[in-house]
């Protein structure tokens, strides 16, 4: 999906369809509630996508996250019901044109596409950015998060990978906000092209169905940090009428956060 904000062009692109356990995706929320929003399959998996954001500013071409990549064996494809898509076929740019890659974190569904099947940077002319805390956590996983990381997803980036410490501006008008919660160094990305702010919210709010405050994934390592950061940022999203871009809906979705006095939800954006 293509849309324009200010002088910048945004493409919300899908690299893969896949599936994850619905119970894990909705944490403490009972199945009787979440299955009304997304129906699971016979293995309790819900349909999802890796939906990335490509942004053309005045000077750079920015990609946020890189998806599931190419390096999967048949067992992995079967477990996660992985279906590759071709996000570049109808775009005016290719991977070699990308100059900035922002990784929200290093879990395989967000970072495996950073490196190609030959263990070379998939975006050869780009500088890659990730939070230092996330890099450290990925290099030193524990029993709970070990399955989410592979050093081959990021170590081959070498000097192209740049580590960040907290909130900062990457290039003019493109900012990262460290949210932690999902991982120690999880970050979201704010774009300020002038007319309206756009936020790529990654696993902070993974789908439009996760907007309510308690709808926090079981995959979040620090769920109370996620909740505290939601309480901090939700009023800002609504006050600024920010456009939120979601990463894991089955199809690319964008929308505006709303509150009806009881719970938050998403009003979909129609370009």
Spell out the residues 6+ positions from residue 145 whose beta carbon is closer than 8 angstroms to its own: 137, 183, 221
Q: Where does 35-151 show beta strands of DSSP type E?
A: 45-56, 61-64, 83-84, 100-102, 127-131
pLDDT above 80: residue 271: no
Question: How would you class 163 by CB atoms within 10 Å of its CB: exposed for 0-12, middle for 13-18, buried for 19 or more?
Answer: middle
Q: What is the pTM of this model?
A: 0.97
For the chain, the domain total comes to 1
pLDDT tens-digit series, residues 229-269: 999 999 999 999 999 999 999 999 999 999 999 999 999 99
pLDDT of amino acid 212: 97
Task: Note the helical H segments in 46-153.
Answer: 74-80, 108-111, 132-139
pLDDT tens-digit series, residues 29-84: 999 999 999 999 999 999 999 999 999 999 999 999 999 999 999 999 999 999 99
pLDDT above 90: residue 195: no
Q: Residue 110 belongs to a domain with what CATH number?
A: 3.60.15.10
Domain that holds residue 10: 2-268
């Amino acid at each position: 999906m293509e849309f324009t904000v200010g002088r910048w062009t945004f493409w919300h692109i899908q690299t893969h369809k896949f599936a994850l356990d619905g119970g894990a995706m909705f944490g403490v929320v009972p199945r009787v509630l979440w299955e009304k929003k997304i129906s699971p399959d016979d293995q309790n998996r819900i349909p999802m996508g890796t939906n990335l954001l490509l942004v053309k500013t005045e000077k750079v071409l920015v990609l946020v996250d890189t998806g599931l990549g190419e390096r999967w064996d048949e067992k992995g494809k079967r477990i996660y019901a992985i279906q590759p898509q071709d996000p570049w076929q109808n775009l005016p740019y290719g991977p070699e044109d990308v100059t900035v890659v922002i990784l929200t974190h290093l879990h395989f569904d967000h970072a495996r596409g950073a490196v190609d099947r030959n263990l070379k940077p998939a975006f050869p002319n780009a500088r890659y950015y990730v939070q230092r805390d996330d890099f450290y956590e990925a290099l030193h996983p524990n029993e709970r998060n070990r399955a989410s990381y592979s050093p081959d997803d990021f170590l081959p980036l070498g000097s192209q990978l740049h580590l960040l410490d907290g909130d900062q501006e990457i290039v003019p008008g493109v900012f990262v906000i460290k949210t932690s919660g999902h991982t120690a160094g999880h970050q979201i990305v704010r774009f300020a092209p002038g007319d309206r702010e756009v936020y790529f919210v990654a696993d902070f709010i993974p789908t439009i169905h996760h907007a309510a405050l308690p709808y926090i994934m079981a995959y979040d390592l620090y769920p109370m940090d996620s909740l505290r950061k939601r309480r901090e940022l939700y009023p800002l999203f609504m006050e600024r009428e920010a456009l939120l871009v979601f990463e894991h809906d089955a199809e690319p979705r964008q929308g505006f956060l709303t509150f009806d006095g009881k719970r938050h939800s998403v009003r979909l954006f129609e370009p």
